Amino acid sequence: MLNRADVVIIGGSAAGATAAISCRRRYPDKKVILVRKEEQVLVPCGIPYIFGTLGSPMKNLIPDKLLHDNDINVVVDTAQQINKERKVVHTDGGQDIEYDKLIIATGANPLALPIPGSEKENVFVIEKDIAYLQNMLDEVNKAKDIVIIGGGFIGAEFADECKKNRDNNVTIVERLPHCLQLAFDDEFCIEAEKMLNDRGVKIITNQTIVEILGDKKVSAVRLSDGRELRADVVIGSIGVRPDVELAEKSGIFINPATNSVEVDRYQRVINSQDIFACGDCAVKISYFSGRPSKTWLASVATEEARVAAANLFGVCYAGFWTLGVFSTQIGELAICAAGLTERQANQEGYNTVIGSAKATSKHPGSLPGSSPTSVKLVFSKCNGIILGGEVSGDTCAGELINVISACIQNRMTACAISTFQMGTHPMLCASPIAYEIVNAAEEAFIKLK
């Protein structure tokens, strides 16, 4: 069967769906086909919440209405090969789909656990697959002892959700001195760990799991110090690997150092004006150092998708590269980070100046629902430009970090941020006198002088 479209997109998740919608907005007359493997697509960032708050994978789906309303033709099939010369995508189901422009958005797969015994039953990684996650949920519901390998933000979210409304033991095993350490400075990690502990999650740091024990099914794990922990379920959350299988076998250049599709700042693959890649499968370059980065986020994937769509029929603008904005919530505590932490900035070689501020999220602080919010900003000592920021507090942290991200993307100085005019309201944010971002910037500005 031969099908034809002006734009063909392979992948139906954050990057693919965003690219399709952005194409439709920009080119109302073009025919757009989106090819994806799955009938229904999970919200990837919502996966941890299936295990507590949502209670089912079926409550965590990207609505197809978004695509239908934008007149995107969806083909549920696996793209098997791209013929670059004939400009055709061949699918497992025997379809040949001709394209004028092609966007590859095949995402990433979880890293397999490099631990003896990881093939045993009830040892899971985080697959974006409804049936797999339903089985995992059923086992989590039955389990008394759950061990989570990796205390990054996904591991921490899983731990919190697996504990929710259950009489079980949940333990995170993290190889670094703190959970969340790759994204946050120590004081924020410690705050998050305290919240996890208060909610009944046990944390073991500075340890790896060297063996998964049991017959057919897991029964325990052995730590690097020799201790054994009982485990009915093990959940591995140690990272992802870009899914470049299709691109690689179709002769598209894969950067061996990053195992991802090499793209330029317009999201074009090497040596082609007609093929683009975006999302987790495409190379990530640090905004700060210009070196490859291992930051795979939906926020980055969707930005790249919009850049790819913008440049399809002639270059419109270059992308930004990867800044890294992380947000998570554990219990009532939201913690978020953008750009470089103080530790990372110092490792890069910056001399840094720090500004910090704390305020209540509403004003006066006696208003119901008001809670303390802390902001830390990191500036370069030599020019006063902001490099990063971290926020902890209630849900307002999620948008405060986005303001900080905008400051970083616009290379704002401590002086400029300290005179930033914000909107405030007693029920919605901190007092204008104490507004955290401005006060933290003013503190840093004074230190810089």
Angle between helices 298-310 and 14-26 (to 10 degrees): 30
Could you tell me the smallest distance in angstroms from the CB atom of residue 232 to ligand FAD? Answer: 21
Q: Comparing C-alpha atoms, which of 402, 271, 417 is closest to residue 338?
A: 402
DSSP β-bridge partners for residue 109: 241
Could you tell me the smallest distance in angstroms from the CB atom of residue 292 to ligand FAD? Answer: 16
Could you tell me the smallest distance in angstroms from the CB atom of residue 89 to ligand FAD? Answer: 9
> Are the CB atoms for 9 and 304 separated by under 8 Å?
no
Could you tell me the smallest distance in angstroms from the CB atom of residue 336 to ligand FAD? Answer: 10
Residue ranges in contact with ligand FAD by CB under 6 A? 10-16, 35-38, 41, 44-45, 47-48, 78-79, 105-108, 126, 128, 154, 243, 246, 279-280, 296-299, 301
State the Rg of the chain over Cα: 23
What does the alpha-carbon distance between residue 446 and residue 437 come to, in Å, rounded to a whole number? 14
> Are the CB atoms for 259 and 242 separated by under 8 Å?
yes
The DSSP string of 27-62 is -TTS-EEEEES-SS-B-GGGGGGGGTTS-SGGGSB-
Taking CA atoms, 211 is separated from 175, 195, 226, 232, in Å, by 14, 29, 10, 14
Q: How many CA atoms lie within 13 A of 13 on its CB side?
A: 25
What does the alpha-carbon distance between residue 125 and residue 149 come to, in Å, rounded to a whole number? 9
Could you tell me the smallest distance in angstroms from the CB atom of residue 69 to ligand FAD? Answer: 19
Between 45 and 403, CB nearer to ligand FAD: 45
Could you tell me the smallest distance in angstroms from the CB atom of residue 49 to ligand FAD? Answer: 9
Could you tell me the smallest distance in angstroms from the CB atom of residue 152 to ligand FAD? Answer: 10
Between 9 and 417, CB nearer to ligand FAD: 9
Between 297 and 309, CB nearer to ligand FAD: 297
Between 171 and 405, CB nearer to ligand FAD: 405
Could you tell me the smallest distance in angstroms from the CB atom of residue 171 to ligand FAD? Answer: 19
Between 67 and 430, CB nearer to ligand FAD: 67
DSSP β-bridge partners for residue 325: 338
Between 93 and 432, CB nearer to ligand FAD: 93
Between 79 and 407, CB nearer to ligand FAD: 79
Taking CA atoms, 248 is separated from 77, 120, 144, 155, in Å, by 19, 31, 43, 30
Between 297 and 357, CB nearer to ligand FAD: 297
Could you tell me the smallest distance in angstroms from the CB atom of residue 389 to ligand FAD? Answer: 17
What does the alpha-carbon distance between residue 14 and residue 409 come to, in Å, rounded to a whole number? 22
What's the token pair of residue 174?
């993290």
CA 348-349-351 angle, to 5 degrees, is 125
Between 79 and 170, CB nearer to ligand FAD: 79
